[in-house]
Amino acid sequence: MAVGKGEIGKIHAVAGVRLGAIESNIRYENRLDLVLIEIAAQSTVAGVFTQNAFCAAPVNICKEHLQEASSRYFLINTGNANAGTGQPGALAALDCCQAVADLCQVSSKEVLPFSTGVIGEALPKEKIISAVPRVFESLSEMNWLKAAQGILTTDTRPKIASTQIEIAGTTINITGMAKGSGMIKPNMATMLGFVFTDIEIDKPRLSELLSDSVAQSFNRLTVDGDTSTNDSCMLVATGKSGVKIDDASNEEANAFREALNSIFLELATGLIKDAEGATKFITIKVNQGVSFEECLLVAYTVAESPLVKTAFFASDPNWGRILAAVGRAGIENLNVEAITIDLGDVRVVSQGAVDASYTESSGQTEMDKDEILVEINLARGDATASVFTSDLSHDYVRINADYRS
């Protein structure tokens, strides 16, 4: 179950990137579950990772390898998170990196491992290592869709976003993929995200762009309020277009930043539309707050309320649940009589109570939609913030109750 058709537009290959995906039976048969991504030498790579204290072994290794060498390969497995596995899990991930390094004749530090799936089970490294030659043989510049399918777990469809822009008379390509349907309240990025471009840019500027894009996209998502142990988001610039950005403030840099942000936002909202059991895509927008942080606090409180989320699943315009969530967000000196709440174009709450113009039928019309905007005006400042979320359905409970079976 998902919101919308999830159609994928034209995918633009990125020079300097090859991808492969195969079935290696890590957890399930007849399913793409091992992906290898080859990155051209001299590419620039930046990453952001989960803030969960129990981060997975591959996350720790990625952080270390990023600091110690230029990345040449990403090795991604699904079906097993290699989290909560202690030192044996770290050694298993390193052995997988070494297998890629030996085959591709690079240093193991030039290989970054990524894992997603069940937490607390030993990584079946023998299956991965034995499959490395096959996934290497499958590498192609055109394998974007297969790679996007190969990183999925409970997702029902792949998420790919791709665009082109003109800079200095040259076509620049930006293409990315992401996965994640549950255990999502990214405290950095998403469960797994990979975005590639053929522009040339140094690592400090690339890291800045990544942080900026993540802040506006993946860090504005919540499915269930849980931050994964394995969240990783990577941005790669191969430089193969021959166009270089060396001034973060000029017109060309701004055009690239805008295009990059659009790719991240498309991927992020794609995750919410395919959240576990989702039937609704919901935007919670909080305006007129004292600070961005205050607005974000209110938005997350509403977005993560089980009562609010179940009302959305039932298409029930139970506005009292939204009002109650705003009231318990912990905002000091909140003037409840100044607050307004809108469902789409329908004013629901004003002066601390139901608006005089509101009718149950008008609220029902908005709640029956697949995509819903909830707009909350705090009437105490100029700040604004938005969060994207999904409803809480029977299927969400079923998927997570049966996840290990």
Question: Is 276 flagged in the annotation as binding?
Answer: yes
Contact 23, 185 (CB under 8 A): no
Which residues have a catalytic role annotated? 190
179 labelled ligand-binding: yes
Q: Return d(Cα 190, Cα 79) in angstroms, integer.
A: 17
**Would you say 284 and 372 are in contact if contact means Cβ atoms under 8 Å apart?**
no
**How far is the C-alpha of 35 from the C-alpha of 256, rounded, in Å?**
28
Phi-psi region of 351 (alpha: psi -120 to 50; beta: other; left: phi over 0): left
Q: Treating both helix axes as pointing N-terminal to C-terminal, what angle do 292-303 and 319-327 enclose, rounded to 10 degrees?
A: 140
Task: Report how far residue 93's alpha carbon sits from residue 226's, in angstroms, rounded to the nearest whole number.
Answer: 24
156 carries a ligand binding annotation: no
Contacts of 83 (CB under 8 A, 6+ apart): 54, 55, 56, 57, 89, 115, 119, 120, 229, 230
Whats the size of the chain, residue-wise? 405
- Which strands, in side-by-side order, build the sheet including 232-237? 44-49, 232-237, 192-197, 170-179, 159-167
Res 186: pLDDT:
64
Which secondary structure element, helix H or strand E, spans residue 370, and what is its range?
Answer: none
Strand partners, 196: 175, 236
Nearest to 233 by CA among 180, 303, 154: 180
5 annotated binding-site participant: no
Specify the pLDDT at position 225: 76
pLDDT recorded at residue 154: 82
Burial of residue 280 (number of CB atoms within 10 Å: 0-12, 13-18, 19+)? buried
Q: Residue 31 and residue 78: Cα distance in Å, rounded?
A: 10
Total Cβ atoms within 10 A of residue 402: 8
pLDDT of residue 362: 97
Determine the Cα–Cα distance for residues 168 and 10; give it in Å rounded to an integer: 23
Question: pLDDT (tens digit, 0 to 9) for every residue of the chain, 405 residues total?
Answer: 688 888 899 999 999 999 999 999 999 999 999 999 999 999 999 999 988 888 899 999 999 999 999 999 999 999 999 999 999 999 999 999 999 999 999 999 999 999 998 889 999 999 999 999 999 999 999 999 999 999 998 888 999 999 999 998 999 999 999 998 766 676 554 469 999 999 999 999 999 999 999 999 998 988 877 767 778 899 999 999 999 998 767 889 999 999 999 999 999 999 999 888 889 999 999 999 999 999 999 999 999 999 999 999 999 999 999 999 999 999 999 999 999 999 999 999 999 899 999 999 999 999 999 999 999 999 999 999 999 999 998 988 887 887 665
- What domains appear along the chain, each with residue ranges and CATH number? 17-273 (3.60.70.12), 281-401 (3.10.20.340)
Paired strand residues for 178: 159, 193
Establish whether 109 is an annotated binding residue: no
Determine the Cα angle at 321 with ends 317 and 326, to 5°. Answer: 125
SS3 label, residue 131: helix
> Is the CA virtual torsion 160, 30, 21, 192 positive or negative?
positive
Nearest to 15, CA basis, from 209, 135, 174: 174
Range list of H helices, 197-305 = 203-216, 251-273, 292-303
Neighbours of 8 (CB within 10 A): 17
Quote the CA–CA distance of 340 and 172 in Å, as a whole number.
44
CB 22 within 8 A of CB 134: yes
Distance CA 118, CA 120 (A): 7
- 279 belongs to an annotated ligand binding site: no
